[in-house]
Every structure is written in C-alpha cells, then in structure tokens.
Amino acid sequence: IEADKVIYQDLSDLQDLFAEERGHGGSCFACFTGKYPTGDVTRYLRHIQEERQSHRIVDKVPSVSAKAPLPTEH
C-alpha cells in the first residue's frame, strides 16, 4: 500500500466516534463484533426448514412429467 504507517483503531474508539455523530440513528458493527441487529436467525431458519420438510412428506404426490417431441426440420 506504500504507506509510511498503518494505524489500527480499537473497536471501542470506532464506536465512540459514531456515537458522537448527531442524527446518525445508530450504527451496525456486526462485521466486527458478530452481534447482528437481527438477533439469532438460526432458530427461525431451522423452523422454516423443518416445516418445508414436513410438508414435503405429507403432501408427497407422484409427479407426472411429459417430454415434448423434438422439433423436426422441414
């Protein structure tokens, strides 16, 4: 990077900097902390997956497929 110095900032300093900004509405630091504003979505996604799997088992109906004839040259 052709820099004379590289200075690393502490996360708390970065958070303090954004806290000083007026009207910012809050900042997301999830990429640094792993604490996402959405909370833990793993449980919800697992629930959706289980519901889909249970519907596949209950609603399993034989499928019918048909193949269209290949186009012919005239």
Confidence (pLDDT) at 61: 60
* Residues present in the chain in total: 74
Concatenated DSSP letters for 55-72?
HHHHT--------PPPP-
Please report the pLDDT score of residue 4 as a whole number: 94
Is the pTM value of this prediction over 0.75? no
- The two structure tokens encoding residue 3: 């820099």
Query: What is the full per-residue pLDDT of the chain (74 aa) written as tens digits?
Result: 799 999 888 999 888 888 766 665 678 888 888 887 777 778 888 888 999 888 776 656 666 666 666 666 65
